[in-house]
Structure 1
């Protein structure tokens, strides 16, 4: 799975600063993850749609909560939610005692897709660990979880 459309050669990576290194690696693993999903599924799900699905997995947040807590424009979030609903991945319901608010949750199909994709991402993480070492992957994850105070 690894190595799909390498973005930058290793020699080019040596000259990048932290911000650009993070960006290059993020883009690479997202592209590989997206390809892995699309190679095994009939349902195309964009990275932004996955991002929204991750925020609502096993929850029933309001759409306004999602809008405030996802770093995508309000209009785009509404578009992505409509797309997800059209694909049968989410259902939108009225909030009890509130005519304005709507809540969103994954359907059974949405949860199944989310869980299959989580397994694909775990497989990719294992492949990365095989290449750079389990200890290095764990160190990297710990560093990324730290409060950087920025």
Structure 2
């Protein structure tokens, strides 16, 4: 049975959720098969928010829909893996800045390449027209 055949929900929201979970699992497995550093989906989400930026931890917390405590735990894990550094904010003693280390940048960019490869496989399977239409539909403002 293919992963697609395992999808049985009939509601659009369920289908979107199932497909999202499936793609995330495939993406995570592709990374883990090629690298020694395990990075969870939540950690990737944080890395994406700080890539090429130097936000404060407060800014990351505001832009991510996860509790402040969870953000601090994720950042601590990323620090332990030497993917991010946390430094004092230049003007606020209360806040800290977070940025990717060189290793963090390399991991993030390698993962982006893996995701581009997965997207290409999806485009090949669906066909360019259907893939472009899917992208357009997902990027459209649904006025929710």
Q: Does 1:113 align with 2:107?
A: yes
Q: Which stretch shows the higher mean deviation, 130-139 or 21-30?
A: 130-139
Count of aligned residue pairs for this structure pair: 143
Quick one: which of 9, 20, 34 aligns to 2:5?
Answer: 9
SS, match of residue 103 in structure 1:
strand
Partner of 1:35 in structure 2?
29
1:36-55 correspondence runs (5 A): 36-55=30-49
Q: Among residues 80, 94, 103, which one is paired with 2:97 in the alignment? A: 103
State the TM-score, normalizing by the size of structure 2: 0.95
Q: Give runs of ≥4 in structure 1 deviating > 2 Å.
A: none
1:128 aligns with 2:122: yes
Task: Report how far residue 16 of structure 1 moved.
Answer: 1.2
Deviation per CA, 1:2-50, whole angstroms, max 9, x where unpaired? x5xx2x526x54x511100100100000000000000000000000000
Q: What's the offset of the Cα at 1:130?
A: 1.1
| In 2, Cα distance between equivalents of 1:60 and 1:139 | 35
Shift of 1:140: 1.1
Query: Whole-Å Cα distance in 2 between the matches of residues 139 and 103 of structure 1?
Result: 39
Superposition deviation, residue 72 in structure 1: 1.2
CA RMSD of aligned residues (A): 1.3
Which structure 2 residue ranges, 5 or more long, are not aligned? none
What TM-score do you get using the length of structure 1 for normalisation?
A: 0.91
